[in-house]
Amino acid sequence: MALTVSLRHLRVRGDGLAINNALTCPIRVFQNLVQLNVDVYCFEDECSFELNDEDVGTLVMALPRLKTLVLGHPCPMDLCHTTVACLLTISIHCVELEVLEIHFNTRQLAAHLEEMSMEEEEEEEEGESSQMCNLKTLGVHEMPLVLAALEEEEVCDGLWNIFPSLECIIRAKDSESDWDAISKRMFPGRTHGEEQTEN
């Protein structure tokens, strides 16, 4: 019992380790965690991230004090079952969160963010708006992103709505995607390059 109360930092390592409920369920007992780092890289031809939006919601609701949440390093395969909706759940339930890295499906990202934004507007009109977290850093690692020119603004606005304190988006050093364009649009005064990448 003492460990479940006192543990603040937890790191799990193992390349190719499946990130699923079998892994995360035991972690939920450590409700005072402020840092959870599942330091796992997917295999080249296999995505190890098996959680869905509901699974992520269950995890973060059990760990409301998190300031850093890394659930594996997002791979380029875009095969995960999580969507951008899980980001909103994380933002609402972990209001002290500052660093986030998680797989989420980027296909039709702009459309999903626009749909979520409309739902948030309806909730605000009904007086049901929620406090969002203070996230500063979003790590996208090798997560792909391909956008039409007109979709860039929708993605930027959608990310601001979920993470109003966001200061940078970090990607893998050698990855190329439209995350660069999003970063330049969201943070025009910043130097883009090394500070926006991770090894």
Domain boundaries, the chain: 2-198
User: What phi, psi does 41 have (nearest 5°)?
Assistant: -105, 140
Predicted confidence at residue 134, as pLDDT, reads 95
pTM: 0.90
- The pLDDT of residue 196 is 53
Per-residue pLDDT at 154: 93
Please, which contacts does 1-6 make with residues 24 or more away whose CB atoms are closer than 8 Å?
Answer: 3/30, 4/29, 4/30, 4/31, 5/31, 5/32, 6/32
pLDDT by residue for the chain (199 residues), tens digit each?
Answer: 566 778 999 999 987 799 999 999 999 999 999 999 999 999 988 999 999 999 999 999 999 999 999 999 999 999 999 999 999 999 999 999 999 999 999 999 999 998 888 776 666 555 556 789 999 999 999 999 999 988 999 999 999 999 999 999 999 988 789 999 999 999 997 654 434 556 5
Task: Please tell me the distance from the alpha carbon of residue 79 to that of residue 149, in angstroms, as a whole number.
Answer: 24
pLDDT at residue number 194:
39
What's the CATH fold of domain 2-198? 3.80.10
